[in-house]
Amino acid sequence: NELGMEVPEWTGTYQNHAHFTDQTYRLVRFVEEPKPTGDLAWLLMSDVCKHCAEAGCLEACPTGAIYRTEFGTVNINPDVCNGCRYCVASCPFGVVAFNESTGTAKKCTFCNDRIHNGLGPACAKACPTDSIQFGFRDDLVTKAQKRVETLKGMGFKDAQLYGADSKGFLGGLNAFFLLLARPSTYNLPDSPKLPQRNVVVDSLFSIGSALVVGLGALLAFRERGKGAGDA
């Protein structure tokens, strides 16, 4: 992906890196979760752009720089990006970053060039434990659901798939995750929403309120005028 190397800063945890940047498209989250026994459970999650079916970054982009590929992934065309950063603010996962040098937004491309050549994403190829897997979404969901049932049978009662349900939030995620705890434990939103849709609702409420206030003012004016005429 021709990204420059970033030297991670010491943050007091094993997490690598601390957050997404214009040079870091994937990071490994590290969480120490207290157990009832007093011990700590180590939870690891390899986090990346979700390539949402209903992508906030794509909806917010005013220039068409962000587009959906034939594979269902979401990419950014730097030649069309105007650097407005609307996509940065619209991503509920904090994935999209801004490159100050180029003045454009950056994020994971799902290795679009590799997929076109039948190679698959580099992260999935490099993963030594197969925890990152690439394939047809329905096949991966079926496989992951079986794994969830196995984990629950082993005592991991909170095991769940995050973003696998296409009828769930954001229309489903094309990069979904098997978690051992609540999403918020991994610093993920439990029910992610698109900020711009909240803005529309708030705007409609504001317009409705303005109409009520305007109507009230009109009635008050008419009542005042009527009283003045009677006098």
Q: State residue 212's pLDDT score.
A: 61
Q: State residue 142's pLDDT score.
A: 96
pTM for the model stands at: 0.81
Task: Please count the other Cβ atoms lying within 10 Å of the Cβ belonging to residue 115.
Answer: 17
Calpha distance 107→20 (Å, rounded): 8
Q: State residue 35's pLDDT score.
A: 82
Q: State residue 18's pLDDT score.
A: 86
Q: State residue 209's pLDDT score.
A: 54
Give, as one character, the DSSP assignment of residue 62: S
Annotation: CATH topology of 27-132+169-177? Alpha-Beta Plaits (3.30.70)
3: burial class by Cβ within 10 Å (0-12, 13-18, 19+)? exposed
| Average pLDDT value for the chain | 86
User: 43, 33 in Cβ contact below 8 A?
Assistant: yes
Enumerate residue ranges in the chain where pLDDT < 70.
1, 196-231
Task: Please count the other Cβ atoms lying within 10 Å of the Cβ belonging to residue 21.
Answer: 15
Calpha distance 141→2 (Å, rounded): 31
User: 187, 29 in Cβ contact below 8 A?
Assistant: yes
Q: State residue 21's pLDDT score.
A: 93
Domain ranges of the chain: 27-132+169-177, 194-231
> Burial code of 137-161, b = ≥16 C-beta within 10 A, e = fewer?
beeebeebeeebeebeeeeeeebbb
